[in-house]
Amino acid sequence: MPGLLLRLALGGVLIAAALMKLGAPERSRLALGTFGLHGRTGWVAWAALIVAEAGLAAGVVAGSDAAALGAAALMLAMAGAMGTAMMRGRAGQPCGCFGARSEVGGASIARNLALAVAFVLAALLPYEAPSTQGWLGIGLVASLLASAGLAVALLALAREIGMLRLRLGPSSALEIPSEGPELGARVAPVHRRVPGPRTELALAVFVSGSCRICRGLEPAIDSLAREPAFAVEVFDEDTDAGAWSAMSVPGSPYAVVTDLDGVVLAKGTFNNLAQLESVLATGQRRRVRGGAAVG
């Protein structure tokens, strides 16, 4: 019986991890950018993790020792990936392990290591398959728990949506004419590398070490940097103080879009990926229309 209870609990952990990724697909996929998985690769990795967690959960509950050891290997791999990310200075960034809010850190590594040990223990403990009545009882309890969990999740989701609406405000970035560089002015090119043949715009993103929003947006900024149409550069408040001063940046996170000649087309304070994309969209529209003076 202890072996069965342990397997049920661990299977529930795996299912919960898969459901949390499904509940926030975009944010969970972007979180994988912390480990260098962007774009299509990120989506493939996101789907593969969900399938692996769900499949291993079924195998663990069914009594498969191979599934339990496979789950232990998965937990160790995740712990190793987070350890590597921490050595690269990415502590505190999202990891997507248990939903979009999970972060890279010592606690997360310790959690995954503890789960790996638990899965190995589940494989070692004797497993007694329950009778038909036992399975029916387990199914009934699981259904009741799932119903209660679903009710709590719906309430939490409703609260989260309400809080997000209050925090995020409009979907467009805040462009204040008196802040940042003057629209239409020519500034020093913000792109530090030679743009490619398909590059149309340069995007300067201004961040600071004390800005939690900036850290959370790093995977999204990295994904934009992989788009051939944009030359993306990130300017830190401490290491790139000169660029901050030259652009009269009011705070972080802040974005400035220019053409490849350095003409400022759009700018604004942003708090999420949608608002950052709105700055780029404004820059593209003004570029096509012939300058920042056109709204």
- For 52, 98, 231, the CA distances from 14, given in Å and listed in that order, are 9, 9, 39
Cis geometry, peptide bond prior to residue 253 (ω within 30 degrees of 0):
yes
Q: What angle do CA 221, 31, 238 make, to 5 degrees?
A: 45
Alpha carbon 76 to chain centroid distance? Answer: 21
In the chain, where the domains are located: 2-129, 201-289
Confidence check: pLDDT of 2 > 70: no
Pick the CATH number of 201-289 from 3.40.30.10, 3.30.750.210, 3.90.600.10, 3.20.170.30: 3.40.30.10
The region of weakest confidence among 18-32, 43-57, 130-144 is: 130-144
Smallest CA-to-CA distance from 52 within 44, 62, 41, 40 is with: 44
User: Collapsing DSSP states into helix, strand and coil, what is residue 294?
Assistant: coil
Q: Name the token pair of 161.
A: 């949506």
Confidence check: pLDDT of 254 > 90: yes
- 266 bridge partner residues: 257
Smallest CA-to-CA distance from 174 within 266, 294, 98 is with: 266
Q: For residues 272 and 201, what is the distance between their CA atoms, to the nearest angstrom?
A: 20
Confidence check: pLDDT of 173 > 80: no
Render pLDDT for 175-187 as a digit per residue (tens, 0 to 9). 888 889 999 898 8
Phi, psi of 210 (to 5 degrees): -85, 0
Confidence check: pLDDT of 267 > 90: yes
User: Collapsing DSSP states into helix, strand and coil, what is residue 259?
Assistant: coil
Q: For residues 286 and 270, what is the distance between their CA atoms, to the nearest angstrom?
A: 19
Q: What angle do CA 223, 228, 233 make, to 5 degrees?
A: 60
The terminus-to-terminus CA distance of the chain in angstroms comes to: 69
Smallest CA-to-CA distance from 100 within 208, 19, 13 is with: 19
**What pLDDT does 176 receive?**
86
Q: Are 212 and 145 in contact (CB under 8 A)?
A: no
3-state helix, strand, coil in the chain (%, to 5): 60, 10, 30
Q: Name the token pair of 259.
A: 């053409």
Q: Are 136 and 142 in contact (CB under 8 A)?
A: no
Q: For residues 292 and 164, what is the distance between their CA atoms, to the nearest angstrom?
A: 31
Render pLDDT for 52-73 as a digit per residue (tens, 0 to 9). 988 998 888 888 889 889 999 9
Confidence check: pLDDT of 165 > 60: no
- In single-letter form, the type of residue at position 43 comes to W
Confidence check: pLDDT of 273 > 50: yes
- For 180, 192, 223, the CA distances from 233, given in Å and listed in that order, are 16, 7, 12
**What pLDDT does 164 receive?**
53
**What pLDDT does 257 receive?**
93
Q: Name the token pair of 199.
A: 């590059």
Render pLDDT for 197-235 as a digit per residue (tens, 0 to 9). 888 899 999 999 888 889 888 888 888 888 888 899 999
- Look up the pTM and report it: 0.49
